[in-house]
Amino acid sequence: MIKKKRLIGIDLFAGAGGLSLGARLAGIDVVLAIENEPNAAATYAYNHPKTRLIVEDVRKIKRIDIKRGNKKVILFGGAPCQGFSTSNQRTRNKENEGNWLFKEFIRLAKIIKPEWIVFENVKGIVETANGEFKDRILADFKALGYLCTDGTLCAKDFGVPQARTRYFIIASKNGVAVTMPKPLVNKHITVKQAFCDLPKLTSGANIDILSYRHEAITKYAKQMRGKRKMCANNLVTKNAKEIIKRYEHIPQGGNWENIPKRLMKNYKNYNNCHTGIYKRLDENKPSVVVGNYRKNMLIHPNEARGLSVREAARLQSFPDWYIFKGSIGFQQQQVGNAVPPLLSAALFKTIVVHEDIY
């Protein structure tokens, strides 16, 4: 970790805190966060006790008071992204009111006047409405006097065991051109390497804190686990018997297409399922995207069940000390919505290193 803290951070739409954790790993002192959803806010408060948290709708925030001192401010975050998701074609358009929440980010940037901005969203924002949202955001930042660099980064290239691609904008008030970070790893981390020491579970597992299965035997598992003897959030959605029966037909890397039609009679349009439905992870590859993994029914590579919250958190690169609050459904949503901390840390370090140089 970079020790100097020449930057203080403000996290908008903070969620469970994936971006904030990445900023902390990069040496940024995150002094303020705003999150409206109570369960995500509870998770954030528990894991970031030194950060002042405002539990409020961003649209109601009229002013923000922070002590800058001689430090520079980095404003970061990403408006809720479901409307831009490639898996959400129904509301992926200009008429979806939720797609315009990025304007609140712009509005607060005008008020705060940070030296740096990091804006994050799903890669679908590049394609939605022929790129109009992306172009509008870039134009608004430039109108405020920021020099922008933008692009997509894939989490698996930065030590995260997941093929998750996100869109980022780095904006500098001082006219500094900062390039996107280059991939940090040549060999991607697999699901097996991520899960190797986690508890053995069954469908409907509801004991929160459990001992590890055995010692961590991979570098990644050791990194996530530290010196802990037990881990929390070992909760798994309870599936009906007919769903578990479907799991038996799916090989690693397979999905709903491997399930006999006779077992899928409740699907009105069997041939039009999303590729992520009933996706069994391949243990020898990075995971597919961990989004709404309960709805998509991501399946454990070797067991007849969905993923636990802790397993999904491992795939997102949240360390095992990071505890998720709320009922299982809210925990799953928080993990699925988060930005992988190791990915965001690589991005923030690009800015921090620049500040240390100049």
Angle at 120 between CA 119 and CA 125, to 5 degrees: 110
Q: Which of 81, 148, 196, 231 is catalytic?
A: 81
**Tokens, residue 106:** 């712009």
Q: CA-CA distance, 45 to 48, in Å (whole number)?
A: 5
Q: Give 69's Cβ-side CA count (13 Å radius).
A: 7
Q: Quick check: helix, strand or coil at residue 265?
A: coil
Characterize 301-336 residue by residue with b for buried, 16 or more Cβ atoms within 10 angstroms of its Cβ, and e for exposed.
Answer: bebbbbbbbbbbbbbbbbbbebbbbbebebbbbbbb
**Which strand ranges, in their side-by-side order, compose the sheet holding 7-12?**
52-54, 29-34, 7-12, 72-77, 116-122, 165-172, 147-154
Phi then psi dihedrals of residue 187, to 5 deg: -115, 120
Phi then psi dihedrals of residue 45, to 5 deg: -60, -40
- Contact (Cβ atoms closer than 8 angstroms) between residue 137 and residue 163: no
- Contact (Cβ atoms closer than 8 angstroms) between residue 191 and residue 287: yes
Q: CA-CA distance, 151 to 142, in Å (whole number)?
A: 16
- Contact (Cβ atoms closer than 8 angstroms) between residue 18 and residue 340: yes
Residue 148 a catalytic site member: no
**Tokens, residue 113:** 């006047």
Residue 243 CA, chain-centre distance (Å), reads 27
Q: Which of the residues are catalytic?
A: 81
